[in-house]
Amino acid sequence: MATMVQPERVKATVKDLKGKVDPDWCPGCGDFGVLAALKQAIVEAGLEPHKVLTISGIGCSSNLPGYLNTYGMHTLHGRALAVATGAQLANHDLKIVVTGGDGDGYGIGGNHFVHAMRRNVDLTYIVMNNQIYGLTTGQLSPTSIKGMNTKSTPFGSVENPINPIPLAIAAGASYVARGFTGQQRQLVELIKEGLQHRGFALIDTFSPCVTYNHDNTHEFFKQRTRKLEEMGHDPTDLHGALEKGWMWGDVIPIGLFWRRQDLPALDQLEPVLGEGGPLAHRPLGVASDVAQALIKELM
């Protein structure tokens, strides 16, 4: 009796992850480095494109889902984490990546940022932190340094910036890292580990804006960034992580600040999600005509 042998599934390559649309970022933008690192990290993590969902908000960096061959969704300004939380609870078998900028994530989306971390939702959040509003041509962002001259602060900003690293640690994120597009190998590792982490993973990434931010340039970070692993940092040391997270000056640490693996993700705590697999794969539970009428109304 003949037996059917299932063909071995070919692993995805970086080429397979190229989207149908080419990036329209300014030449030299750091976001190109984030896109390249994310593709490489997905491949090295052994993820298949159809098992990844990429969600973003609004901004230059938030165009990223269109440049990546996975499921994708371009949502409202500041609402990417809220949409991603719903998607993750509906289908916790998907690996959900959220991408955006510092204005989208730490400004307009700041409320969702805090509560997604508090809940430890199983998301990988990559923030392309260029310390400026690039899409709207150069206004002050939540991470712009004090004294910075921008279109909206021509005499220098009087505001203290948000520091996302200690904020994320204090809010409950279970994986907190910072990368730099000028350190590609390290950035790939940080994103890959974030994808493999169970819980909320933040990878705040210095992604210099070459058009509107002439203070925090590639050269600025190249001269100042120092890898945490070379500093002997222990990512399970809470106080050490907070201390390193506050460092900003001649030395700016990059790498993994904090990781804890004893904190369950939100979907692991919800009893309903532990029975019968992901909600998206279960019977709808309503009559077909009712479901079609609802879909028609929403569409």
Summary mean pLDDT of the chain: 94
Q: How many whole angstroms separate alpha carbon 93 and alpha carbon 248? A: 38
| Per-residue confidence (pLDDT) for residue 3, from 0 to 100 | 52
Mean pLDDT of 210-227: 97
Q: Which residues contact 18 (CB under 8 A, 6 or more apart)?
A: 39, 67, 69
Say yes or no to pLDDT of 2 above 80: no
Mean pLDDT of 135-139: 94
Q: How many whole angstroms separate alpha carbon 158 and alpha carbon 108? A: 19
pLDDT 10s digits, 12-39: 999 999 999 999 999 999 999 999 999 9
State the pTM of this model.
0.93
Q: Which CATH class is domain 21-298?
A: alpha beta
pLDDT 10s digits, 63-93: 999 999 999 999 999 999 999 999 999 999 9
Mean pLDDT of 111-116: 98
Q: How many whole angstroms separate alpha carbon 217 and alpha carbon 56? A: 24
Q: How many whole angstroms separate alpha carbon 61 and alpha carbon 105? A: 11
11 — pLDDT class (breaks 50, 70, 90) = confident
Is the pLDDT higher at 171 or at 298? 171
pLDDT 10s digits, 236-291: 999 999 999 999 999 999 999 999 999 999 999 999 888 788 998 888 788 989 98
| Per-residue confidence (pLDDT) for residue 83, from 0 to 100 | 98
Mean pLDDT of 154-160: 95
Is the pLDDT higher at 299 or at 89? 89
Say yes or no to pLDDT of 228 above 90: yes
The residues spanned by each domain of the chain are 21-298
Q: Which two tokens stand for residue 91?
A: 């289908």
Say yes or no to pLDDT of 5 above 60: no
Say yes or no to pLDDT of 189 above 80: yes
Q: Give the 3-state secondary structure of the chain.
A: CCCCCCCCCCCCCCHHHECCCCCCCCCCCCHHHHHHHHHHHHHHCCCCHHHEEEEECCCCHHHHHHHECCEEEECCCCCHHHHHHHHHHHCCCCEEEEEEEHHHHHHHCHHHHHHHHHHCCCCEEEEEECCCECCCCCECCCCCCCCCCCCCCCCCCCCCCCCHHHHHHHHCCCEEEEEECCCHHHHHHHHHHHHHCCCCEEEEEECCCCCCCCCCCHHHHHHHEEEHHHHCCCCCCHHHHHHHHCCCCCCEEEEEEEECCCCCCHHHHCHHHHCCCCHHHCCCCCCHHHHHHHHHHHC
Mean pLDDT of 144-161: 95
Give the burial class of 37: count Cβ atoms within 10 A of its Cβ; 0-12 exposed, 13-18 middle, 19 or more buried: buried
Give the burial class of 292: count Cβ atoms within 10 A of its Cβ; 0-12 exposed, 13-18 middle, 19 or more buried: exposed
Say yes or no to pLDDT of 1 above 60: no
Mean pLDDT of 223-232: 97
